[in-house]
Amino acid sequence: MILEFENCVLNSDTRVLWRNGWPVQLQPKVMDLLIVLAENHARFVSKSELYARLWGGAHVANASLLRLVRELRRALGDDGVNPRLIRTLHSRGYHFIADVRDRSAAPMALQ
């Protein structure tokens, strides 16, 4: 799936993110988080769903998810206080609030 939002293009099949025309290196779990949030942009994603999708339901500290969200926001140039891309629903989960366009079927120029 190829998703476009703000100044980014995400190819979830190849796990490549482009920002301002440049590739962005993300740790694997950060990329997993971005894919889950971006592909589910139309809805709020609960923490329990994120834990299940990212860690297969294994018990991990809340700080692990917070660290991933912080790293993703930094990579995307987002801010938790005034979010443009990722809104926190305190103690519940996250919502990818960017205007996301699915470009999977449209021909794309090579990055």
pTM of the model: 0.91
Rounded to whole angstroms, how far apart are CA atoms 10 and 101?
Answer: 10
pLDDT, tens only, 3-62: 999 999 999 999 999 999 999 999 999 999 999 999 999 999 999 999 999 999 788 999
* Strand spans (E) along 1-111: 2-5, 8-11, 16-19, 22-24, 44-46, 86-89, 93-96, 100-102
Ordered by where they begin, the domains of the chain are 2-102 (1.10.10.10)
- Which residue in the block uniquely carries the two structure tokens 């991990």? 60
1-16 residue pLDDT tens: 999 999 999 999 999 9
